[in-house]
Amino acid sequence: MDLFDLFLPLHIAAGTAALIAGTVNILRKKGDPLHQRVGRIFFYSMMLVGASALLLSVLHPNAFLFIVGVFTIYLVGTAQRYLSLKGLAQGQKPGSVDLSLTIGMLVFGLAFLGYGALLLWQGGSFGVVLLVFGSLALRMVYGDLNNFRGRMKYANTWLLVHLQRMIGGYIAAMTAFLVVNVNDTRIPGFVVWLLPTAVLVPFIVRWSRQLQIPRKS
């Protein structure tokens, strides 16, 4: 048994746990002790998913697993870190972990855009996926940089980002599940990749608007 066969079941088990925990927390009340306990299960499961995806993508080169790994670690990692950055609006400075996650995503976001443009130019439809995810990555990086400078519109930006990116991590897990399990050739590949994003992003927008607390000038 090679390392790929050894780590693949771990990756699948962590992804399954993350999907179950994420679904529970999306459907039920937010912020109570059970939400926090289930959220910790989701966080650690997703970080294991991300790390194992990167490892598997190196052992057997696979762009799909690599993208899942990058986005999972960034989304869930920054979502958890923002819980410790409640004082950004009052001058709190980001830590080295925060800067590393943001700079790393900046590099990968630019790479996704460049490679996506190249694939489209060569006639590959997967370039659409890379362009979409690259654009989302750079938008989030831009938000991070503004937040780190205290330039946020809302007093509870830390909570909004936590919500948005935890659900973003759930989207990544659901996307991976669909890409692996939907084999209907009548459905274009990029549709399967982007469907969870298209369905869940409107809910992120709605819930964020309900929670927004404008900063006092």
Assess contact for 70 and 111: CB atoms under 8 A: no
Residue 54 has pLDDT above 90, yes or no: yes
Query: How would you label 55-76 residue by residue, b for 16+ Cβ within 10 Å and e otherwise?
Result: bbbebeeeebbbbbbbbbbbbb
Which of the two residues, 153 and 190, has the higher pLDDT score?
Answer: 153
Mean pLDDT of 69-89: 93
Give pTM, 2 decimals: 0.87
What are the tokens at 90?
């009052």
Assess contact for 30 and 145: CB atoms under 8 A: no
**What pLDDT is recorded for position 165?**
94
Output DSSP code: residue 125: T
Task: Give me the phi and psi of 214, to 5 degrees please.
Answer: -60, 145
**What pLDDT is recorded for position 112?**
92
Residue 1 has pLDDT above 70, yes or no: no
pLDDT class for 138, splitting at 50, 70, 90? very high
Q: What is the pLDDT of residues 80-106, one digit of tens each?
A: 999 999 998 888 999 999 999 999 999
Comparing CA positions, the residue from 84, 83, 76 lying closest to residue 101 is 76
Sign for the pseudo-dihedral over CA of 48, 172, 95, 216? negative
Find where tokens 């007093």 sit.
155
**What pLDDT is recorded for position 65?**
82
Residue 160 has pLDDT above 70, yes or no: yes
Residue 172 has pLDDT above 90, yes or no: no
pLDDT class for 7, splitting at 50, 70, 90? confident
Radius of gyration of the chain (CA): 17
Instruction: Provide, rounded to the nearest whole percent, the portion of the chain with pLDDT above 90.
Output: 50
Which of the two residues, 185 and 164, has the higher pLDDT score?
Answer: 164
Domain boundaries, the chain: 3-89+155-211
Assess contact for 50 and 101: CB atoms under 8 A: no
